[in-house]
Amino acid sequence: MRIRLDLGYDGTDFSGWARQPGLRTVQGDIEAALDRVLRLDDPARLTVAGRTDAGVHAHAQVAHLDLPEQAWLAAPGRSDRSPGEALATRLNAVLADDVVIRSVAAAPAGFDARFSAIWRRYAYTVLPGSAVPDPLRRREELRYPGELDLAALDRAAALLVGERDFAPFCRKRPGATTIRTLEEFDWAARGERLVANVRADAFCHSMVRSLVGACLAVGSGRRDLDWLRGVAAGHERSSLVQVAPAHGLAMVEVAYPPEARLAVRARQARAIRTLPRA
C-alpha cells in the first residue's frame, strides 16, 4: 500500500532533498527514520513532489512511500491512535528538529507524490539593501546589497508567465523537456521584504532561482525588459542569468487533482516530462 507524507524542513543544514552517499539530506534522514521505526525488510524509498537543492526550505512538501500493509497496521503499536498519527509521532521523535512530518496518511488509489501533482508553488524572499535585516530570518531571505524597484520586478515576472520553453532558465537533463507552464509569477511587498510567488505545473532544475535572478537584474536597474525578452527567447541555458542563492527559496504548496483523476494525471505528467513535446 501507498502512504502520503506531508512535511516541512529548514534546508540550511541539508545537502538538499535527494539521498547522496556521505551527505546529510532530507530524503536520507527520513528514509533512515522510516527504516528505524518500521523495521522493514527492504529499505524505505521515498518519492517526492519537488526535489529541492541544498539550502532550499520547504513549508509544505509531499512524498510517498510504498509499504507492506502489515507494517502500516502495526504502526500504532498499543496506542489507540490511527496508523498515520502514530507513525508521524514516532518519526518526529527520531528526526532532528529541522525536519518535521506534518501528517501521514494512506494515499488514495493512483496517487503519486511526484507525477500526480498538478502544480507546485514556491516563494522567494528578498530584503533590499535599505531595509534593516532581522537576524532571526537570515537563513530564509536573501539580503540584496542594493535597491530594488518592486514594479520593475513585477513587470519582469509578468513577462515570463505562460507556457514556454524555459531552457534559458534551466539546467538541462538529457531526454527531458524544458517546456513548462508558468501559471503565476508576481512580486509583492511584505513589510520591507519583497516576495516572489512562483507557481508552475512543474519546474526544471534551478528554474525558480534563475527566474528570480533574472528579475533581480531588471529590478535593480542593471538590465531592462528587452534584455529579458532576448534571454527568454533562447533555447539554451543562458550564462547571462544569475541563479539566485538557495536560502531565499521555499516550497510552499503542492496541489493534486480530485481522487478520480490522480492516476490519469500521473500518466500524463510522466509522458510529458520524459518525451519532449517540441
Q: Which residues bind a second copy (CB under 8 A)?
A: 8-10, 57, 59, 97-100, 102-103, 132-136, 138-140, 143
In this structure, are residues 117 and 64 in contact, taking their beta carbons and an 8 Å threshold?
no
Active site residues: 53
Q: Say which residues have a Cβ less than 8 Å from residue 236's Cβ, sequence separation at least 6.
A: 167, 168, 172
To the nearest whole angstrom, how small is the minimum distance from the Cβ of residue 39 to a second copy?
Answer: 25
**Nearer to a second copy by C-beta: 92 or 181?**
92
To the nearest whole angstrom, how small is the minimum distance from the Cβ of residue 180 to a second copy?
Answer: 27
Give me the torsion for CA of 201, 207, 213, 216, rounded to 10°: -10
One-letter amino acid identity for 223? R
**Nearer to a second copy by C-beta: 20 or 103?**
103
Among residues 109, 151, 148, 115, which one has the least CA distance to residue 130?
148
To the nearest whole angstrom, how small is the minimum distance from the Cβ of residue 46 to a second copy?
Answer: 17
To the nearest whole angstrom, how small is the minimum distance from the Cβ of residue 57 to a second copy?
Answer: 6
In this structure, are residues 57 and 51 in contact, taking their beta carbons and an 8 Å threshold?
no
- Count other Cβ atoms within 10 Å, centred on residue 56: 26
To the nearest whole angstrom, how small is the minimum distance from the Cβ of residue 135 to a second copy?
Answer: 4
In this structure, are residues 241 and 213 in contact, taking their beta carbons and an 8 Å threshold?
yes
**Nearer to a second copy by C-beta: 141 or 165?**
141
To the nearest whole angstrom, how small is the minimum distance from the Cβ of residue 12 to a second copy?
Answer: 9
**Nearer to a second copy by C-beta: 10 or 112?**
10
Which class for 115: exposed (0-12), middle (13-18), buried (19 or more C-beta within 10 A)? buried
Q: List, as own/partner pairs, every contact residues 35-40 make where C-beta atoms lie below 8 angstroms and the sequence separation is at least 24, other chains included.
A: 36/94, 37/87, 37/90, 37/91, 37/94, 38/67, 38/71, 38/75, 38/87, 40/67, 40/68, 40/71
**Nearer to a second copy by C-beta: 22 or 135?**
135
**Nearer to a second copy by C-beta: 25 or 116?**
25
